[in-house]
Amino acid sequence: MIPSAHAEALNVLHWWTSDSERQAADRLVRQLAAQGVEWHDDAIPGGGGGAAIKVLTGRVLAGEPPDVAQVIGRTLTDWAGLGLVRPLDDVAQRGHWRQVMFPVVLETVSRGGHVMAAPLGVHRINTLLVNHHVLEQLRLKPPRTWAEMEAAAKVMRAHHVTPLAWSDEPWQVATVFETVLLAEGGPRLYAELASTTGWSSWQDARVVAALKRLRWLRDLDDEPTTEEPWTSATRRLQSGAAGMLIMGDWARGELQAWGEHAGLDFDCVAVPQTAGMHLYSIDTLAMLVGRNAHRAEQEHMADILAQPATQMAYNQAKGSVPVRTDIDPAQLDACARDSWQTLARPGAPLLPSITHRMAAVESVRDAIGEVLHRFVRTPGVTPQQAQAQLLAIVRGAAP
Ligand code: GAL
């Protein structure tokens, strides 16, 4: 669609404020500007988007939504059900989204058969990043199992390297926890845990095993633990003060933005016991219903966001991978290629991130984060007590 000569700028509310997030957003801004769409930036800082979603909800309830917002996963489909989001079926049809995008992507942005947002990229949450120089110096390999991780941690400690960069921010604890749930429980149990109706699975003994593993991981950080932003934990990995980091692959984007080269300065593997699995979070921009006059620009923006050139430019900076199946994987680095190929592999277990809003509703996601936060900070809380609290939340939220 060709925008009219007096096309207005679109307000875009999002939470991309770190170096790589900013770079990735700026690449979108440039691709859009080249085709006549102007992006007016409304960034709300805060990793994981906790603050952004609150500000956005306030604006929507006040009847003053931005034109475009980073509304993702379950939050997106819930809002679509309330009529707050503009369907993009025409754009999707013209751009052949059904033919060129991963089915899991289409499914995530659809509600009742309608496409409700423009997909940007797929992040892999079960990512373990390792400082390559530390490994080389200590003659270690990236760990593939918990036992290997334990052995590596021992060697790192003996050489005054903190094994794991950890932060107590609730969403970061929850991010690590879900990778551990997948590792300890396997894909079938994880899928049940993530589904809103499967609350009884939270009684499974493997949830207790995951909570124990979570505590063990936290103890691999020898620094007096703080609630540092994810970028600070990533800095500690980069400097070699810490040897390893479990974080969605946006941390990989951040390392790259700081001039690090995958394979040379850092290694990237799946979290132990999750090789071949993809715990995903799909970033999307939704076109909010508000001032109707902006509809043409919103649709034009959605169309450009899905184009191959935009997809490549954005994802290479962001650390995620394109949502399209028709790109050349040779253009991706080894870490991104493994992520993309796992998405493309028939039958590979693809699991929705709970913490990054792919499964649970916003309030449940927050409540889970609070329980885990209290659990890791309070040695007196037993894994069994934390399990009971998680179960109560999920059961209470079940229809
Ligand atoms: C996620 C989001 C990513 C990311 C990260 C850290 O929820 O999907 O794009 O940047 O938070 O802020």
Give pLDDT tens digits for 284-317: 999 999 866 799 999 999 999 999 999 999 999 9
Say which residue the tokens 């040779």 belong to.
330
The domain spans of the chain are 10-124+281-344, 127-278+351-397
**CA neighbor of 126 nearest in space, from 279, 347, 355:** 279
Q: Which two tokens stand for residue 162?
A: 């903190």
Tell me how crowded residue 81 is: count the other CB atoms within 10 A of its CB. Answer: 12
> 19-34 and 295-306 helices cross at what angle (nearest 10)?
110
**What pTM does this model have?**
0.96
pLDDT at position 356 is: 97
pLDDT tier, 127 (very low <50, low <70, confident <90, very high otherwise):
very high
Enter the DSSP assignment of 38. P
Distance 387 CA to ligand 1 centre (A): 26
DSSP one-letter string for 7-18: PPPEEEEE---S
Distance 250 CA to ligand 1 centre (A): 7
Say which residue the tokens 């007196």 belong to.
380
Q: Is the CB of 298 under 6 A from ligand 1?
A: no
Q: Is the CB of 123 under 6 A from ligand 1?
A: yes
pLDDT-wise least confident of 218-222, 291-295, 327-331, 345-349:
291-295
pLDDT at position 65 is: 95
- Please give the C-alpha separations between residue 325 and each of 120, 241, 285, 329, 340, in angstroms, as whole numbers: 13, 38, 19, 9, 9
Q: Whose CA is nearest to atom 11 of ligand 1?
A: 48
Distance 48 CA to ligand 1 centre (A): 5
Q: Whose CA is nearest to atom 8 of ligand 1?
A: 283
The dotted CATH code for 127-278+351-397 is 3.40.190.10
Q: What percent of the chain has pLDDT over 70?
A: 98
User: Is-contact 221 233, C-beta < 8 A?
Assistant: no
- Atom number of ligand 1 nearest to Cα 282: 8
pLDDT tier, 68 (very low <50, low <70, confident <90, very high otherwise):
very high
The contacts of residue 108 (CB under 8 Å, 6+ apart) are 73, 76, 119, 282, 284, 352, 358
Q: Whose CA is nearest to atom 5 of ligand 1?
A: 48
User: Is-contact 70 49, C-beta < 8 A?
Assistant: yes
Q: What is the pLDDT of residues 347-364, one digit of tens each?
A: 999 999 999 999 999 999
10-124+281-344 CATH pick, 3.40.50.180, 3.40.50.1370, 3.40.50.720, 3.40.190.10: 3.40.190.10
3-state secondary structure of 263: coil
Quick check: do 10-124+281-344 and 127-278+351-397 share a fold? Answer: yes
Asked if pLDDT for residue 1 goes beyond 50, the answer is: no
- Atom number of ligand 1 nearest to Cα 230: 6
CA distance from start to end of the chain: 41
- Atom number of ligand 1 nearest to Cα 281: 8
Distance 260 CA to ligand 1 centre (A): 20
pLDDT tier, 215 (very low <50, low <70, confident <90, very high otherwise):
very high
Name the CA radius of gyration of the chain, rounded: 21
The whole-chain average pLDDT of the chain stands at: 95
H-assigned helices in the chain: 19-34, 50-61, 73-81, 89-94, 97-100, 103-109, 132-137, 146-158, 170-194, 205-218, 230-239, 250-257, 295-306, 308-318, 334-344, 362-377, 383-397
